[in-house]
Amino acid sequence: MTRFFDITCKAIEYLIAAFMAGMVVLVFGNVLLRYGFNSGITLSEELSRWLFVWMTFLGAIVALRSHEHLGTDMLVGRLGPVGKKICMGLSQLLMMMCCYLLFKGAYEQAIINWTSTSAVMEVSLSWVYFPGIIFAVLGGLLIALDFIKLITGQMKNEELMMFQESEEAPHGDSR
């Protein structure tokens, strides 16, 4: 399963890069055409907005996989290994619940908007909600795998703080 997520996240990274390049071309091209030639790309604004939504949710999957999201350890950092494991388990259960709620809501919105079309591209508005479904499924699986590692004792003590410290935080502060 780890190999599946490694390959999937690498593919998602390439997809995000392609979406970003597409957004840059659309927005820059539209600005250039508007100010230089008094015309524009009709679908530029709508498509770039949709690409941004997809990039956000797909990027969240990659960040969740590599534990690069920000967090704080003010409370948990003071706990012992058992306390850290309990907090980790509770937070993972809460995150899985959030993934379920996101899946449920995004799925219901996708069904509701299946026959509605966007104003410019005339594409089903369900496409706006699919990245939420994809994140909920893949994110939920990633969190469930970490939860299984936690309860089976395969997680090391240094892995109990699953977040990235802020790059702006002072290092080695000796107060």
Q: Cα separation of 33 and 90, whole Å?
A: 53
Q: What is the DSSP string of 72-122?
A: --TTGGGS-HHHHHHHHHHHHHHHHHHHHHHHHHHHHHHHHTSS-B-TTT-
Q: Check: CB of residue 5 under 8 Å from CB of residue 142.
A: yes
175 within a domain of the structure (yes/no):
no
Residue 82 has a pLDDT of: 86
Q: Check: CB of residue 92 under 8 Å from CB of residue 143.
A: yes
Q: Check: CB of residue 115 under 8 Å from CB of residue 124.
A: yes
Q: Check: CB of residue 56 under 8 Å from CB of residue 130.
A: no
Q: Cα separation of 138 and 120, whole Å?
A: 31
Model confidence pLDDT, tens digit, residues 16-55: 999 999 999 999 998 998 888 888 888 888 999 999 999 9
Q: Cα separation of 171 and 173, whole Å?
A: 6
Query: 130-151 vs 44-65: helix axis angle to the nearest 10?
Result: 0
Instruction: Report pTM.
Output: 0.82
Residue 174 has a pLDDT of: 43
Q: Cα separation of 16 and 1, whole Å?
A: 22
Tell whether the model's pLDDT for residue 166 goes beyond 70: no
172 within a domain of the structure (yes/no):
no
**Which is more confidently placed, 74 or 144?**
144
Residue 159 has a pLDDT of: 67
125 within a domain of the structure (yes/no):
yes
Residue 172 has a pLDDT of: 47
Domain residues for the domain of 38 are 2-160
The residue assigned the tokens 């699919």 is 130
Residue 133 has a pLDDT of: 96
The residue assigned the tokens 């089976």 is 152
- Backbone dihedral angles phi then psi of residue 70, each to the nearest 5 degrees: -75, 155
Model confidence pLDDT, tens digit, residues 88-113: 899 999 999 999 999 999 999 999 99
167 within a domain of the structure (yes/no):
no
Q: Percent of the chain, pLDDT > 90?
A: 54
The residue assigned the tokens 């290092």 is 171
- Tally of domains within the chain: 1
Tell whether the model's pLDDT for residue 167 goes beyond 70: no
Give the pair of three-digit tokens for residue 11.
């593919």
* pLDDT-derived band at 160, boundaries 50, 70, 90: low
Tell whether the model's pLDDT for residue 157 goes beyond 80: no
